[in-house]
Amino acid sequence: KNVTVIYCIANIGAKVIIMNIEYEIIHLDKPLYNELLNVLKKQCTSFNLVSPNTHYRKNLSEDVLSKSKKVLSSYCIFNKWVNKWPGTKSSKKVSLHAYKINDFCINYLKSLGSFFELEEQIDISFFNNETCLCYTVSHENVCFISRELLSELP
């Protein structure tokens, strides 16, 4: 595993969740991506997709996010406008959609092949109740996972 230990604070809405040690996975290949999703399915209760402002999108004709939101819509818990989410604080509000974790959603995410296949500037985060266990900073192509989750990967 290519990992670097970092220290980070993740801001989630009005709450601050402190994750003492996280790992930055620089190259998340497909086998590791699938294994991570399997672990996330066991450990998490929900995940969030954060939509970018439209001017960030690479190619509006291939809007993977819109397709994803449509495919996952039956499992949407809520959506809201935010300017903070795990790993990011923005000067502008963006749309956050929260979804239940289940086999369908995990299999859909597996079909994408990578967290970074959604589109540039779309971040995804996974929660066990209120605690963020994994999140991406997509414009940097990095995925952060908690030490607990990392220990469960092969």
The pLDDT tens digits for 92-113 are 888 899 999 999 999 999 998 8
The pLDDT tens digits for 4-20 are 333 343 333 223 333 44
Check residues 25 and 59 and name the one with the higher pLDDT: 25
- What's the whole-number mean pLDDT along residues 36-63? 75
Where residue 119 falls (left for φ over 0; alpha for ψ -120 to 50; beta otherwise) is left
- State the pLDDT confidence band at 120, using cuts at 50, 70 and 90: low
Please tell me the least confidently modeled range out of 7-11, 56-60, 61-65, 120-124: 7-11
Query: Is residue 126 within 8 Å of 86, Cβ to Cβ?
Result: no
- What's the whole-number mean pLDDT along residues 37-56? 84
Residue whose tokens read 């086999």:
103
